[in-house]
Structure 1
Amino acid sequence: MLTQKYVARDEYLNFLKRHQDKHVIKVVSGVRRSGKSTLFLLFREYLKENGVSSNQIITINFENMANEPLREPHRLYEYIESRLVADKMNYIFLDEIQHVHEFEKVVDSLFLKDNVDLYLTGSNAYFLSGEIATLLTGRYVQINMLPLSFKEFVSWHRQNQLFTDNTEMFNKYLQSSFPYTLFTEDDQERAEYLRGIYSTIVLTDIVTRLKVRDVPVLERVIRTLFSDIGSAISINKIANTLQSHHFPADRKTIERYLTGILQSLLMYEAKPYDIHGREILRANSKYYVVDPGLRQLLLPDYQEDYGHIIENVVFLELKRRYPNVYVGQTSKLEVDFVALNNKNEARYFQVALMTLDEHVLARELRPLKKINDSYPKYLLTMDTLNKDANYDGIQKKNILDWLLEEN
């Protein structure tokens, strides 16, 4: 049995269990160090505990230098085929598959075999969005893996008898949600680990792939986006910010860098959504960072920006729970988030730090009251007093309680 040094990621593990032995390719995407390789490790242990022998399992991590020769598709296919066990199901785990040239040819050939169950991971959204839909059309299921949710974070601390109270846990959670940071000894070690993640994402997933020549400009774009989480931001605004600091910036270059940042999964985009027209708008989006600790690493002076930080946390949690998350527009008012489920049914969320002041409360409720459909509406706050109030059908919830509730 694995020890509790591994964080239980039940949602993702159950995804793999549900699709085990079914004739579809299982794809797990996610930012670097979000726990994809550990998820595969946990699932392999599950397989062994349920009667699968070790020689039925083939695991290759393409970021391991020892496996570099296998990045050539023909060699990879021959390597795997020579190790398949006849007349038994073979479980193939290909980690960071985007490093394999024309990987789809290998996957296609393995998919044709009745005794192969395929599992893939990748960190690059270029590989894991439109590209994979084209290359593996109709033959795969996919789940996006984020760093730890607050619920997973608290659960691990409870299991290891390190839990204090929800508020203290949340303050610790904001230091980073990457799984490995649970095992760092102090602030310095955590910061060094986060800096390593950030540098790898920037240099490998953005600079190398996009062939970026002016890295300081790219990093300035990232800092600008990090500093403006929760605010609608335009390409022109980024350009003006860079130019005010004497950085060369043109619209085409910034658009290219922004695409690379999103494809690296360092940040996520929340597009504006017309609530009444039920359509995505061509207007400025908002952007949220994949981990609050990375933002604090780059912008230590922005720690007091607590309102936008908790908004970022809520956005990421909504990404875990719903397939589509947008910024809502109704009349001239804005709803922080519109989340659509698989049936395209909406849930509306307004996020506020505190609403004990009646003027603040009225301001936060106003856009929700403008929505005339019957879908659920929520006001999420850090209030501990009157935290479960109901305002004509608008349900108020404490953010920490909401983060810990059953999905």
Structure 2
Amino acid sequence: MMNREILKSVIFDQHEIIRNADIVHRRYFLDSQANYVVTGLRRAGKSTLLYGLVQDLVARGVDWRRIIYINFEDERLAEFTLSDFNDILVVQSELSDEEGLFFLDEVQNIDGWEKFARRLADSGRRAYITGSNAKMLSTQIETTLGGRYLTRYVTPYRFDEFLDATGKQYDEAAVYSTSGKGAISAAFESFYVDGGFPESLRYGMPREYVESVYQKVLLGDIVARNNVRNPQAMRVLMKKVAETVHNEASSTMLYGMLKGVGYKVSKDSVINYLAMAQEAYLIFPVRNAVAKFIEREGNPKYYFTDNGLLNLFLSKKEPALLENEVAVAMLDRYGDELCYLKSPKNGIDVDFYVPDEGLAVQVTYSLSESANPREVGNLIKLAQVDQNVRRLLIVTKEEDGSIEKDGLKIEVIPAWRYLLELASK
């Protein structure tokens, strides 16, 4: 049985943390009359999102003693198991005669948590749950919860949120004025290199903070939780994945890359490691829109969920970071509709393609003479064979304008402007 005095200490200590939290408004809305599972990369801002909701509830008159907020990464709960969940209800009844509001943070640490979550919902109690593992949104979990919870996937700051958090204006006047554009462009320099982890803004050296997050994800969320027997191979695999940004990366290719540097792991292990990294929201795949089914599963492009993470691995980094940031922003906007397109039959190679939107996007650091034929030529070929394509776009680091060729118009747009456009949709 869990020591209930410890549970009370955890709850009241958390109240103090929430009272003192400085909340930056995020794009996510949580209905106070619904139950939620909030998931996403570690340190992306899931807990802070709940802190903001608690502050709003208290501002509307909810008594603090009704707020049962438990962070399951608190070391005082290291021995907590499924059988201890009922003690949370007992403690809540001791704190208040009114119905409790339950906030269970990083609850994936407790095996079987979904049974308690379902019990809360079935009894009419309001509950908000966070976790850093994609298995929390698996079909099995969704079946167990039976539609009783809404889901929210939270990312690190997107560029508009980064500007909000750093006090930069990006309204129409700022976007079109010389000084405003300069300030936004300068902010993007920091954002696309260091990434968007909210707490990293407090650090003079954000890279060190991002490194600590990466180690926690790798060693805690991946290696320890999955009992990975060769942690060093997992480390090297993530470095090799980073080196493939821009390109297709089959498990066979990555297996060969590991073997080439002396790591004797099986191909099945490589496949499992990639799945673990995706479950921890470290990386995500973008599929080929025109490949056969088996190729779609085996030959994605992999991107990192935050540029700060990718930046840990690269030396020649600018082009890869630019494409990675566009991939993250487009995934946030289009979800599983986002593809790339590589067709040996037509010789077409397009970085990003959203068929339902009729959108084709190439990303290049600079539209130099050497880059121009590839970026422009592939978009033109695609438009000539796919009548559904309505917008052709080249995203660059700084260049702006348009290109007219073969009766088609191709927009050229700086990345910061495109990220703001995506955020406004």
TM-score norm. by structure 1 comes to: 0.85
Name the counterpart of 1:7.
Answer: 24
- Give the alignment partner of residue 366 of structure 1, picking from 359, 363, 380: 380
1:165 is paired with a residue whose SS is helix
Offset, 1:367: 4.5
Q: In the aligned structure 2, how far is the partner of 1:176 from the partner of 1:401?
A: 17
- Counterpart check, 1:176 vs 2:195: yes
- Counterpart check, 1:200 vs 2:204: no
1:158 is paired with a residue whose SS is coil
CA contact (8 A) 1:352 1:364 kept: no
- Give the alignment partner of residue 228 of structure 1, picking from 234, 244, 255: 244
CA contact (8 A) 1:28 1:36 kept: yes
Offset, 1:8: 2.2
- Give the alignment partner of residue 57 of structure 1, picking from 62, 67, 86: 67
Q: Pick closer, same or farther for the CA change 1:329–1:294 going to 2, 3 Å.
A: same
Offset, 1:168: 1.7
Q: Pick closer, same or farther for the CA change 1:346–1:82 going to 2, 3 Å.
A: farther
**Match runs of 1:84-99 below 5 Å:** 84=93, 90-99=100-109
- Counterpart check, 1:316 vs 2:328: yes
Aligned residues: 387
Q: In the aligned structure 2, how far is the partner of 1:383 from the partner of 1:283?
A: 31
Name the counterpart of 1:381.
Answer: 395
Offset, 1:32: 0.8
**Match runs of 1:29-178 below 5 Å:** 29-69=39-79, 71-84=80-93, 90-114=100-124, 116-158=125-167, 165-173=183-191, 174-178=193-197
Show structure 2 runs of 5+ residues with no match: 1-17, 171-179
Offset, 1:262: 1.2
CA contact (8 A) 2:195 2:308 kept: yes
Offset, 1:175: 1.7
* One-letter amino acid of the structure 1 residue matched with residue 86 of structure 2: Y
Name the counterpart of 2:305.
Answer: 290
CA contact (8 A) 1:123 1:265 kept: yes
Q: In the aligned structure 1, how far is the partner of 2:159 from the partner of 2:237?
A: 28
Q: Pick closer, same or farther for the CA change 1:294–1:129 going to 2, 3 Å.
A: same
CA contact (8 A) 1:29 1:121 kept: yes
Name the counterpart of 1:327.
Answer: 340
Instruction: Give the % identical residues.
Output: 25
- Give the alignment partner of residue 250 of structure 1, picking from 266, 269, 274: 266
- Counterpart check, 1:398 vs 2:414: yes
Name the counterpart of 2:285.
Answer: 269
CA contact (8 A) 2:401 2:411 kept: no
Q: In terms of mean alpha carbon deviation, does 80-89 or 134-143 score higher?
A: 80-89
Q: For each residue in 1:367-397, what CA deviation from the matched residue of structure 2 results, as whole angstroms up to 9, or x when unmatched?
A: 4414524354241322655525677365443
CA contact (8 A) 1:355 1:383 kept: no
Structure number with the higher helix fraction is: 2
What do you get for the CA RMSD once the two structures are aligned? 3.0
1:32 is paired with a residue whose SS is coil
Q: In the aligned structure 1, how far is the partner of 2:410 from the partner of 2:385?
A: 11
Q: In the aligned structure 1, how far is the partner of 2:88 from the partner of 2:22?
A: 32
CA contact (8 A) 1:335 1:367 kept: no
Q: In the aligned structure 2, how far is the partner of 1:2 from the partner of 1:348?
A: 46
Q: In the aligned structure 2, how far is the partner of 1:279 from the partner of 1:237?
A: 15
Q: In terms of mean alpha carbon deviation, does 36-45 or 48-57 score higher?
A: 48-57
* One-letter amino acid of the structure 1 residue matched with residue 391 of structure 2: K
Q: Pick closer, same or farther for the CA change 1:370–1:204 going to 2, 3 Å.
A: farther
